[in-house]
Amino acid sequence: MLRDSRRSLGSNASPAVRLELDAIEAALNRVDAGSYGLCVACGRDIGPERLAFLPATPHCLGCAAEIAHARGSRPPWSWATC
């Protein structure tokens, strides 16, 4: 179902949608591998609150903040407060 979403959307999907699909597919692969919910960078628990907010995120809050900082962008959880 979800795994077929890329095919059914084909090449009409916008880059943002394709990025989201990539993230979801990667998350599904981590479910299969038994590593879903663990940060791919540091291996720590991502945490149920963060997963509820961002189910496909591969990074814990700390690593996501580091990555966002390295990219020079604000982390997504700051959007609501700014």
Give the Cβ contact number of residue 59 at 10 Å: 19
* Nearer Cβ to Zn ion (20/66): 66
* Nearer Cβ to Zn ion (27/63): 63
Distance CA(49)–CA(1), nearest Å, equals: 25
C-beta of 24: minimal distance to Zn ion in Å?
Answer: 19
**∠ CA(17), CA(40), CA(16), 5° rounding?**
10
C-beta of 45: minimal distance to Zn ion in Å?
Answer: 9
C-beta of 32: minimal distance to Zn ion in Å?
Answer: 20
